[in-house]
Structure 1
Amino acid sequence: MSQPSVLIAGAGPAGLILGISLLKNGVAVRLIDRESKHRVGSRGAGIQPRTLESYDILGVLPEILKRADPELCRRRMYELPGGTKVIKELPVVEYVEPTPGMPHTNPVTLGQDLHEEILHGYLVELGGTVEFDTVLGSFDQLPDHVVAQLVKTRPDGTEATESAKFDWLVGADGVHSVVRKQLGLSFVGETKEEDYVLVGDIDVVNESLDRKFWHYWIPPSQMLILRPGAGTSWRMAFTGAPEHWKKTLPTRDEFVEKFYAVTGRRDIKFGAATWLSSFRPSMRMVDKFGVGRVFVVGDAAHCHSPTGGQGLNSSVQDSINLGWKLALVATGRAPATLLDSYSTERLPIIAEMLKLTTSLYEQTAATAGTGDVGGWTTAFKRGGALGMLGVNTRGSTIVLVDDEHAAAEGGAYAAAAPGRVQAGYRAPDAPGLVGEDETTARLFDVFGPAEHTVLVFGGDALAHGAVKHALACWPQGTEHTMLISRAGEKGESTVLREVLEDREGHAYAGYASDMTEGGMTIVIVRPDGVVGAVVSQAEGIERYGKLIFG
């Protein structure tokens, strides 16, 4: 690998995914982290359907699903005092049946420690590595590069300082981000100073709790939660904890005694606590995601209540949005102005996410604190938009929509109109595609993080020739084009060499259901799985290409 072009500060999921995306695009990276190893603890464990789709396209999904718990648990709320009688049971998330266009409709849970381990392993397979015990002290941004001051802690505890030059710098360095602070980005929002949440992982060494459930004890103004983790580990959350814990983190024994006092459940036998931590919910975001050659992703750009399971997922989606754009610019195939769209596309999405999660937090806290059993069904309801399958970039300056395929109105979390693909929204999957050699495929196998996928539906040889001519204006290696023929039609094209037969009809149903007879629909899918353009004529390919490649 050549001299690193991009420095990524922070090796959590956002930093790792950005590193993977850039390496898959042939861009050399250097990834550092201040910790001595990946942090222990489950932390953000929910992986939403949209992130599963992104992982599918990126190629990291199989191991994630292998290690994750796909079973959708239910919640059990217990009567107090006593703590053993179940007074309410409801699903954590309502199960949604997968469809050909949406194969990942339900979240899975995987502790962040295992999550990072898997992503790190994949990064290493691509030739990358993480330099632990290395801190970004400061940086200087010049017109054509960035100079970073790095501080490495040696095994003997001494420090070594290095000055290194990079083309780009990305801060994935958390809520206290050095990158964000030195850039001078505002971090607008609030911190719920009065609210204190203790979290951690602790072993339960007997079989007193059913691992198919999340368990809740909700006395007035407090809430204790135990949810199953890996092995004998359970994730713990305690809101409304004692005032003195706000100054000094409790020990494992102090937590256990408080748990017994609140719940009365001394039949639950605890083992070791893997980690304990605390936080006050903050709802904040930057005013822009970068300046010049320096950008922020993940917690460095936004933080919020964990209610709704959007944090880790939004962080990963930041990196997926930035990765392909930065790769095109870093390899000289697109102008630096393309990177402006990172901010313009992510800002409205994160603003709506913060509004959504803050509302959920306030509703949950208010209802749980009153002991209103009847209201818990609404207060604890999740799923729906939180699956993030409706998150879109509608209205983006680099999304092209012709009048025939105009997008419907809606917010940044609003799904496309049913039954038709629209620019700015997720690209649906379509299984049952068959190649000329009778091999089967699906669109999520065809999409990739390093190229735009151009899907051509219908049209004749003349129209296909126009498509090829239009694509000649794009930089080499930036597209993968194929003709999708209807079931039963060979769809031979001497111009568009790759042809897939839509033998099960899912591709035409999802992408070209409103195409007129004899017409043509061209759908351009970006490397992040978002539809960049839906057009009816080949000249639309040239117009879209100018938005991306200049």
Structure 2
Amino acid sequence: MDTDVVIVGAGPTGLVLAIDLVRRGVRAVLVEKGEGLFPGSRGKGLQPRSLEVLDDLGVLPAVQEAGSLYPRMLGWEGAERLAEWDMLARSQPTEQVPYANTLLIPQFRTQELLHERLTELGGDVRFGTALTGLRRSEDGVEADLSTGETLRAAYLVAADGGRSTIRKALGIGMTGETVDPRPMLVADVRLSPDAIVDRGNWHIWLKAPGGAVALCPLPGGDRFQLIAGFEDGTAAVDTAPEAVRTLLTTRTPLTGADVVEVLWASDFRARAAMADRFRAGRVFLAGDAAHVHSPAGGQGLNTSVQDAYNLGWKLGQVLRHGAPAALLDSYEAERMPVAADVLGISTRLHRASSEGGGAQRGEEVQQLTLGYRDSTLAVETRDGLAEDALRAGDRAPDGPYGEARLFDVFRGPHFTLLAVGVPLPAPASGHVRTARLDAYESYGTGLFLIRPDGYVGWAGATPDGVDDYLAAVGAVLA
């Protein structure tokens, strides 16, 4: 093989997957048909669970420096200021949840930081390189590139967006619905510091002529994200800079001089859909190629990041640690139910916002409670657990560990066997780290094998069965 994995598409999904594979010693080629990274703010919120993923990948400090908490919403009617409210419920960090609030950071900046991290690890993106052909066999794939090169690889991951050409070429259907038939305009604009809108609020005109308008200040400058709805479902959305400027000056108190520059613009129609399969042999669908969301609740980018995070460690175990190829079947089995649940959340929030304008988002959008209890990789061997007990398949909480934290122990491409109130069964190996706590209420008592993606894979009162589990995922304890 020329490489282990070909990844098509250098959005958040492809970049996260490439980072995860490279740090595992897996050869990966990431190709992107565009000449550079996506330039817009589109997916501007990183949920708490995604922040935990970025912590593990070594990107979080840079992301926290570049981002901010969401500002309060401020309603307007013409030039009159109305009430303020929080679109996102504010939470205090806890021992178990150190990153309790959604971080505001434009998608282009998230991707820049992911690309920088990939480069630090020795990976890169082949920009200006499109996939022009794909052939599959039982042994691997052949990917024809627009450069004239053909790459042979063990696996290929389609992270090429909602209009995925790979998904279509594979004949995989996309089942879903139109959430709202009315079009939307999404744009990034630079506004004058003298404009009537300040950077301390997320501004919204619900009753603007022609459709609602929202302006959200983005961290790190004078850029705002504009979202404009259209009451006329047949309206043609003009994304030309002058048309965007005219829309703002027509629907809001802003003047032409206030709109310094239109940096990027796109038309959008809210749709919720999911691919009928996430896998076709040695080809996997991830991110928007597998599921498309309404922007309400900020679920699309975050779900995509976790697709990559789920798939990365499994490819690593198969390609570098001798795990059976059947381990890869769990990607589709685990991620399809999660995607379906999240699609339901974003669709419901979109429709509630369309009707009322400002429904507050709470824990349901943070993705901390999503898990894999029904997965074949969730093996719970303890009996008589309380209703609210931590179980196999759940997210492994953070907590104190000496002078460090459990997330410090979990961070990296390894498994972790955590003993709470019971002895450790064996010394650590290179691929399974071990740790012990005398007691920690969030875990209860027992042994907990933490998967590389931060979920409890196996749990037991004794070590009976842990070796069998580790063998099934290509790992050994001692």
Aligned twin of 1:237: 227
Q: 1:332 to 1:480 in 2, by over 3 A?
A: closer
Q: Is the 8 A contact 1:453 1:481 kept in 2?
A: yes
* TM-superposed deviation, 1:239: 0.5
* TM-superposed deviation, 1:74: 0.6
Q: Is 1:442 the counterpart of 2:405 in the alignment? A: yes
Deviations 1:471-497 (A, max 9, x none): 8xxxx643111233x3xxxxxxxxxxx
1:38 corresponds to which letter in structure 2?
L
* Alignment root-mean-square deviation, CA: 2.1
* TM-superposed deviation, 1:267: 8.7
Q: Is 1:482 the counterpart of 2:435 in the alignment? A: yes
Q: Could you tell me which of 202, 207, 226 is aligned with 1:214?
A: 202
2:391 corresponds to which letter in structure 1?
Q
Superposition map of 1:255-270 within 5 A: 255-266=244-255, 269-270=258-259
Q: Distance in 2 between matches of 1:175 and 1:267?
A: 34
Q: 1:509 to 1:271 in 2, by over 3 A?
A: same
* TM-superposed deviation, 1:353: 0.6
Aligned twin of 2:80: 85
Aligned twin of 2:414: 451
Q: Distance in 1 between matches of 2:123 and 2:71?
A: 36
Q: Distance in 2 between matches of 1:13 and 1:407?
A: 38
Aligned twin of 2:299: 310
* TM-superposed deviation, 1:192: 4.9
Superposition map of 1:366-385 within 5 A: 366-368=355-357, 376=358, 380-385=359-364
What SS does structure 2 have at the residue aligned with 1:209?
A: coil
Q: Distance in 2 between matches of 1:40 and 1:133?
A: 15
Superposition map of 1:389-468 within 5 A: 389-404=368-383, 408=387, 417=388, 420-431=389-400, 433-434=401-402, 440-460=403-423, 464=424, 467-468=425-426
Q: Distance in 1 between matches of 2:345 and 2:128?
A: 36
Q: Could you tell me which of 451, 454, 457 is aligned with 1:532?
A: 457
* TM-superposed deviation, 1:143: 0.8
Q: Is the 8 A contact 1:405 1:534 kept in 2?
A: no
Q: Distance in 2 between matches of 1:58 and 1:275?
A: 29
What SS does structure 1 have at the residue aligned with 2:334?
A: helix
Q: Distance in 2 between matches of 1:11 and 1:535?
A: 40
What SS does structure 2 have at the residue aligned with 1:134?
A: coil
Q: Distance in 2 between matches of 1:405 and 1:20?
A: 40
2:70 corresponds to which letter in structure 1?
L
Q: Distance in 2 between matches of 1:304 and 1:267?
A: 33
Structure 1: which 5+ runs fail to align? Answer: 153-160, 369-375, 409-416, 435-439, 487-506, 516-520
Q: Distance in 1 between matches of 2:154 and 2:18?
A: 15
Aligned twin of 1:24: 23
Superposition map of 1:38-187 within 5 A: 38-69=37-68, 71-79=69-77, 83-152=78-147, 161-187=148-174
What SS does structure 1 have at the residue aligned with 2:132?
A: strand
* TM-superposed deviation, 1:269: 0.9
What SS does structure 1 have at the residue aligned with 2:61?
A: helix
Q: Is 1:510 the counterpart of 2:463 in the alignment? A: no
2:72 corresponds to which letter in structure 1?
R
Q: Could you tell me which of 346, 349, 358 is aligned with 1:360?
A: 349
Q: Distance in 2 between matches of 1:147 and 1:483?
A: 46
Q: Distance in 2 between matches of 1:62 and 1:3?
A: 34
- Runs ≥4 residues deviating over 4 A: 241-245, 405-408
Q: Is the 8 A contact 1:430 1:442 kept in 2?
A: yes
Q: Distance in 2 between matches of 1:304 and 1:108?
A: 19
Q: Is the 8 A contact 2:26 2:319 kept in 1?
A: yes
Q: Could you tell me which of 253, 257, 261 is aligned with 1:272?
A: 261
Percent identical residues = 36
Q: Distance in 1 between matches of 2:395 and 2:149?
A: 42
Q: Distance in 1 between matches of 2:142 and 2:386?
A: 43
Q: Is the 8 A contact 1:149 1:162 kept in 2?
A: yes
Deviations 1:320-353 (A, max 9, x none): 0000001101124210100111011111110011
Structure 2: which 5+ runs fail to align? Answer: none
Q: Normalization by structure 1: what TM-score?
A: 0.82
* TM-superposed deviation, 1:58: 2.1
Q: Distance in 2 between matches of 1:89 and 1:112?
A: 26
Q: Distance in 1 between matches of 2:191 and 2:253?
A: 16
1:452 corresponds to which letter in structure 2?
F
Q: 1:405 to 1:47 in 2, by over 3 A?
A: farther
Q: Is the 8 A contact 1:209 1:268 kept in 2?
A: no
* TM-superposed deviation, 1:171: 0.5
Aligned twin of 1:544: 469
* TM-superposed deviation, 1:127: 0.7
- Which range moves more in the overlay, 135-144 or 29-38? 135-144
Q: 1:141 to 1:219 in 2, by over 3 A?
A: same
* TM-superposed deviation, 1:289: 1.1
* TM-superposed deviation, 1:103: 0.5
* TM-superposed deviation, 1:177: 1.0
Deviations 1:178-220 (A, max 9, x none): 2211222221002357310001101111332121110000127
What SS does structure 1 have at the residue aligned with 2:19?
A: helix
Q: Distance in 1 between matches of 2:384 and 2:73?
A: 43
Q: Is the 8 A contact 1:63 1:118 kept in 2?
A: yes
Deviations 1:113-133 (A, max 9, x none): 111111001101111010000
Q: Distance in 1 between matches of 2:53 and 2:432?
A: 18
Q: 1:243 to 1:353 in 2, by over 3 A?
A: closer
